[in-house]
Amino acid sequence: MRALLFLLLPGCLLADEPARPADPDEAAYPAIERFVQVLEQVRQRHPDVEKVTYDRLVNHALEGMLSSLDPFSSFIHPEMALALKDHPDLDPFLPSLGVTLGVRDDGPYIANVQPASPASRAHLLAGSAILAVNGGPPPALPALIASLKRAPGETTRLQLKSPASPQPVDVELVHMAVEDRTVTEATLTDDGKTGYIRLASFMGSCAREMEAALDELEDKGMKRLILDLRGNPGGDLHQTVQILGLFLPPGTPVVTTRGRGGEVLGEPLKTPDKQRRKRDYPINVLIDRMSASAAELTAGALQDLERAVIIGETSYGKGSVQNIIPQGGGTALRLTIATYHTPSGNTPHRKGITPDIAVEFDDAIREKVQLSHRRKSLTPDEAKLLEGWQDPALEAALKTAN
């Protein structure tokens, strides 16, 4: 299971004594009896005998139960556990597509979909079986993962059987660039006083990159900042807190973890005790519907503490904590066990962060925003699409700054 741990945000917590379910104990018996009755009816009557073993039926029932809870909980089948045991260095996450692959008795499937990715933009659903890849049957998981590591701009065609549809669907995904740096742009705008920084994710050494970019812009005369978190899928929670410490007073509580019933789990995460530079200039934060997780907590904390004006769309809505819990039979659960909350007690989970200034985006604008985020690698045809175009969210931020 070690290869799956990279999916977890640091600081995942599990309450020692989880609260009891809302329904009484006696409700369990008729529910379990109903499950057993259905199980036996399926075993006795379904014509595909190879599909009605107890292990298979129960494992698929567990998969359905976990996926019904939220988009981030899932059941890890024994086939996946075995694949990871045989290939301990296997990483089932494909960042250029934004999917985590799994394998079960009927073959490979999409275990999770990352926000702000080609897969999420194509509305792929976790639990979808992979029936074909580029017109052919999918190979074993290690070979499948290797074949799907492709260059930015290349396409992959998948045939999927979605849990939401009885018919297979064909999807074409364009691989996105996976940026090595988290700060992908840091510049002064034309007025010479407004800084613009795009933070692509909260992974790696993003807090150091962010501080270095701020230092450089401040030394050049920056008096206000536009922080672009559009399309940012989140990442390391502790890096998030370090970045918030660049703009908020030392020791400020910024993130709280709450379990069932709103119970606070552990101490709130606070900004570092020391701050090298005081940064009290105005800040605008740009978000969109693909800003998720740590990006939402950052925007939410700065909004709650009246440290920034948030501009754009309501964000994705990922503010939960997952834990991997081993089970019997070589299976495991990836289970949501808590939610993250900003200083006001608000959580972005399932509802996102609402901007202070809303900016409407259509698909054409979204495409141009994505192109603008990689101006240095555009093809001539792509560059033409941006000729004379003004980013509406950036324009709104510049008007607010002035």
pLDDT at 401: 63
- Residue 318 located in a structural domain: yes
The H or E element spanning position 244 is helix 237-244
Instruction: Estimate the crossing angle of helix 28-45 against helix 54-67, to 10 degrees.
Output: 130
Q: Is 128 a catalytic residue?
A: no
pLDDT exceeds cutoff 80 at 330: yes
Percent of the chain with pLDDT over 90: 62
Catalytic residue among 128, 318, 320, 391: 318
Place of tokens 């985020």: 373
pLDDT class of 10 with cuts at 50, 70, 90: very low
Distance from C-alpha of 296 to C-alpha of 94, rounded to nearest angstrom: 22
pLDDT confidence of residue 204:
86
Chain center to CA of 123: 14
Tell me, letter by letter, the H, E, C secondary structure of 217-240: HHHCCCCEEEEECCCCCCECHHHH
Chain-centroid distance, C-alpha 60: 25
Residue 46 lies in a domain: no
Mean pLDDT of 303-322: 95
Q: Rounded to whole angstroms, how far apart are CA atoms 59 and 72?
A: 18
In a domain, 155, yes or no: no
Whether residue 234 is contained in a domain is answered as: yes
What share of the chain in percent tops pLDDT 70?
94
Given the structure tokens 């849990």, which residue do they identify? 163
How high is the pLDDT of residue 337?
A: 94
HSE-CB at 176 with a 13 A cutoff on CA atoms is 24
Q: Are 74 and 111 in contact (CB under 8 A)?
A: yes
Distances (CA, A) of 280 to 92, 206, 246: 42, 21, 10
Q: At what angle do helices 237-244 and 206-219 cross, to 10 degrees?
A: 20
- Measuring CA to CA, how many Å separate 86 from each of 56, 75, 142, 356? 21, 19, 10, 50
User: 1-10 as b/e, with b when 16 or more CB fall inside 10 Å?
Assistant: eebbeebebe
Q: What is the pLDDT of residue 12?
A: 37
What rounded mean pLDDT belongs to the chain? Answer: 89
**pLDDT band at residue 388, thresholds of 50, 70 and 90?**
confident
Tell me the pTM.
0.81
Active-site residue among 91, 106, 304, 356?
A: 304
pLDDT at position 20: 59
Write the DSSP string, 96-134: TTTEEEEEETTEEEEEEE-SSSHHHHTT--TT-EEEEET
CA distances from 64 to 74, 146, 209 (A): 8, 28, 41
pLDDT higher than 50, residue 4: no
Q: How far apart are alpha carbons 91 and 335 in whole angstroms?
A: 19
Residue 64 in domain:
no
304 is catalytic: yes
Residues sharing a CB contact under 8 Å with residue 338, sequence separation 6 or more, in sequence order: 13, 15, 257, 258, 259, 265, 320, 321
Paired with 174 in beta bridges are 155
Q: Which two tokens stand for residue 34?
A: 């109903």
25 is catalytic: no
- The mean pLDDT value for 136-143 works out to 94
pLDDT category at 178 given cuts 50, 70, 90 is: confident
In a domain, residue 350? The reply is: yes
CATH number assigned to the domain comprising residue 274 = 3.90.226.10
393: pLDDT confidence band, cut at 50, 70 and 90?
very high
Domain count, the chain: 1
Catalytic member of 128, 162, 293, 372: 293
**Distance between CA atoms of residues 296 and 290, nearest Å:** 10
Domain that holds residue 379: 183-322+337-401
The answer to whether position 397 is within a domain reads yes
Tell me whether residue 104 is in a domain. no
Q: Tell me, what DSSP letter sits at residue 257?
A: E
